[in-house]
Amino acid sequence: MSDLLKLSQVSAGYGEAVVISKIDLSLKPGESLAVLGRNGTGKTTLLNTIIGVTRQRGGTIMLDGQDVTTTRPDKRAHAGIGWVPQERNIFKSLTVEENLTAVARPGAWNVSRVYEMFPRLKERRSNLGNQLSGGEQQMLAIARALVLNPKLMLLDEPTEGLAPIIIEELLAALKRIIRGEGMSAVVVEQHAQKILGVTDNAVILDRGTIVHAGSSRSLIEDPAALEQHLGVTAKKKPARAAAH
């Protein structure tokens, strides 16, 4: 099976600054990738480079067999990339339903189907974007990307700043979308151990380069790389009570 996304020796940044350097990664159709790393290591820049809003300094980006290295961001979106940036970028002066119908394209994901995935949005379908909570706005941002019926979704910190109960709800929805529906996705996420249960593979960035690449399961089972590069300590199993 050919790659849906392939980055070869990609370097990019902003202005004169190079933030990511010589990145190699690939994604098959239906696969998902978690991008992990401390703050400032280039995670968001990597997504921004895939969508085309950085200054690329080298390498090639292939999307579904097409070289998109020099393609404009809007053309990349039309070629099949659904982007959920940290800023969410919903239309705050439109209702939930208007936000969805304004961008929807024909395909398996339609407004009714995203309402099934996010019942809160159906309940708030007549509310304006600025009347939604942060968690509801994030659900709407993901739903807007889905109704574009993309080949690939890019999600930048989808759980950032949200309450724990909303994080669990969002992660459950992402697991259904990615694992259950087979949506190809690249997810930048701070909650490393939570997102690893959603994705197939993972990379860890440090100073703009990939310092670890492997399956998500291997990181869950042997989190030494998480401890080394992220300072994430594996949860210890509670000690068994002594017999009396």
pLDDT tens figures, 43-101 = 999 999 999 999 999 999 999 999 999 999 999 999 999 999 999 889 999 999 999 99
> pTM, whole model, 2 decimals?
0.91
Element at 20 (helix H, strand E)? strand 17-27
Neighbouring residues of 82: CB distance < 8 A, sequence distance ≥ 6:
145, 146, 148, 150, 152, 153, 154
Q: In terms of residue numbers, what domain contains 100?
A: 90-149
Is residue 73 included in any domain, yes or no? no
The pLDDT assigned to 244 comes to 43
Name the maximum alpha-carbon separation found in the chain. 71
Name 31's Cβ contacts closer than 8 Å, sequence gap at least 6.
4, 184, 200, 201
| Residue that has been written with the tokens 């394209």 in this structure | 105
Number of domains into which the chain is organized: 1
User: What pLDDT does residue 231 have?
Assistant: 83
**12-35: per-residue pLDDT in tens?**
999 999 999 999 999 999 999 999
Q: Taking 70 as the threshold, does the pLDDT of residue 138 lie above it?
A: yes
- Residues 160-187: pLDDT tens digits? 989 999 999 999 999 999 999 999 999 9
- Residue 32: inside a domain: no
Give residue-wise pLDDT tens across range 197-219. Answer: 999 999 999 999 999 999 999 99
Residue 223: the pLDDT is: 86
| Residue 223 included in any domain | no
What pLDDT score was predicted for residue 236?
47
| Assigned token pair, 13 | 């940044």
Mean pLDDT of the chain: 92
Q: Is residue 135 part of a domain?
A: yes
How would residue 234 be classed by pLDDT, with cut points 50, 70 and 90? low
Examine residue 111 and state whether it is found in any structural domain, yes or no. Answer: yes
Checking if the pLDDT of 240 tops 70, the result is no
Structure tokens at 26: 């690939």
For residue 235, name the pLDDT band (cuts at 50, 70, 90): low
The answer to whether position 137 is within a domain reads yes
In a domain, 239, yes or no: no
| pLDDT confidence tier of residue 194, bands split at 50, 70 and 90 | confident
Q: Is the predicted pLDDT of residue 242 greater than 80, yes or no?
A: no
* Angle, CA 51 vertex, CA 73 and CA 158 arms, to 5°: 130
In-domain check, residue 6: no
Res. 146: pLDDT tops 90:
yes
pLDDT at 222 over 50: yes
By C-alpha distance, which of 136, 118, 125, 122 is closest to 173?
Answer: 118
Note the pLDDT of residue 1: 74
Confidence of residue 233 (pLDDT cuts 50, 70, 90): low
AA identity, residue 111: V
